[in-house]
Amino acid sequence: MIEVRELRREFKVATSKGLRRNYKTVTAVDDVTFDVREGEAVGYVGPNGAGKSTTIKMLTGILVPTSGHIRVGGVDPSKQRRDLARRIGVVFGQRSQLWWDLPLKDSFDLLKSIYRVSAPDYRTRLDECVELLGLQEFLVTPVRQLSLGQRMRGEITAALLHAPELLVLDEPTIGLDLESKERLREFLQDINTRRGTTLLLTTHDLDDIERLCPRLMVIDHGKVLADGPLDELRAEVTPERVLVIDLTEPGPAPDVPGVTAVRSEAGGLRHHLTFRRAETTAAALITQVVRQVEVHDLAVVEPEIDDVIRKLYQRQVAQDANR
């Protein structure tokens, strides 16, 4: 579905003001290479300014690459932007493709004409989205009066009316409450598995990736740092997990082989223990711990996605230094 080879995009940024300006070249996307097969769901993550949105703009044909090769659905996006636009759907979490002053339904009608969707197809697809996303109650409400959660459901519907082969989502769950996020994820998973729509989504929310994307791509400073299943990446980069235990009475940390007590809090009531996932399981560890001390509560903490990315980035810097 997507084929990207040594993709590169540079921008000129002014470094001084005045009549004689100096420019420096900033590389937003730096020799990026990847493939996405049909029906895949890929999470594309990285810190702000990593080059995610620039990549997406090149994939949709809005931005022309400085160099490199892109094919989306077999076509060159910037050369055949209009043909491609009919075959892909894009949702920008922070922008709206709906008409602000029109009722939601009127926006859909306009998109039907813009994308030249036949009347029966339009009706089936709209009905499906209305049912699955629960749009009925605000279908005739002007977009400006919708809550963010309602609007995002509308945005996703708008992107799906022409039954795209690929759905690109740029931070679709940003700012949503837990219930709205959950509902959206369920729906996206459904269209991915049932309709076979390829998903490419950028996000800062680890749960989005965990729920939706078997595959994760990490980018920072314009370079792909890692590409593979989330669990593998996490195990590889941050092999240590943390077990947090709250004791019923203050005391020293339990002594279990293969476990390091990194921190104790509240005068010995709470202890942070790290262990390597390759060496022991959380269950085995907990069994040993409760044998030694009386535990009031415990939690296993997974490394945050930001930690994973930071570690990946540090690794990249170290590799560059060794070269």
Nearer to other proteins, 53 or 192 (CB): 53
172 closest CA partner among 181, 160, 163:
181
The least CB distance from residue 188 to other proteins, in Å, is 20
Contact 108, 45 (CB under 8 A): no
17 part of the interface to other proteins, by CB under 8 A: no
User: Least distance in Å: CB of 97 to other proteins?
Assistant: 5
> Binding of other proteins at residue 29 (CB under 8 A)?
no
> Is residue 288 packed enough to be buried (19+ CB in 10 Å), middle (13-18) or exposed (0-12)?
middle
Nearer to other proteins, 92 or 138 (CB): 92
Minimum distance of other proteins from residue 83's CB (angstroms):
8
Q: How far is the CB of 198 from other proteins (least distance, A)?
A: 17
Q: Is 11 in the site for other proteins (CB under 8 A)?
A: yes
Residue 102: other Cβ atoms inside 10 A: 15
Q: State the Cα–Cα distance between residues 166 and 59, nearest whole angstrom.
A: 11
Nearest to other proteins of 82, 323 (CB atom):
82
End-to-end CA distance of the chain: 34
Residues 6+ apart with CB under 8 A from 165: 1, 38, 73, 87, 88, 197, 198
Question: Does 191 engage in binding with other proteins (CB under 8 A)?
Answer: no
122 binds other proteins (CB under 8 A): no
Minimum CB distance to other proteins smaller for 144 or for 276: 144
What is the smallest separation between the CB atom of 54 and other proteins, expressed in angstroms? Answer: 9
How far is residue 226's CA from residue 314's CA, in Å, rounded to a whole number? 12
Select from 15, 16, 25, 48 the one that contacts other proteins (CB under 8 A). 48
Q: Which of residues 50-109 bind other proteins (CB under 8 A)?
A: 53, 57, 60-64, 81-83, 85-86, 90, 92, 94-97
Q: Is 90 exposed, middle or buried (0-12, 13-18, 19+ CB in 10 A)?
A: buried
In the complex, minimum distance from the CB of residue 1 to other proteins, in angstroms, rounded to a whole number: 17
Q: Which residue is associated with the tokens 């039954």? A: 163
Is 318 a binding residue for other proteins by CB under 8 A? The answer is no
Nearer to other proteins, 81 or 315 (CB): 81
When the beta carbons of 94 and 322 are compared against other proteins, the nearer one is 94
Measured distance CA(253)–CA(245) in Å, rounded? 9
Between CA 123 and CA 230 the distance in angstroms is: 38
Q: Which residues bind other proteins (CB under 8 A)?
A: 11, 48-49, 53, 57, 60-64, 81-83, 85-86, 90, 92, 94-97, 114-115
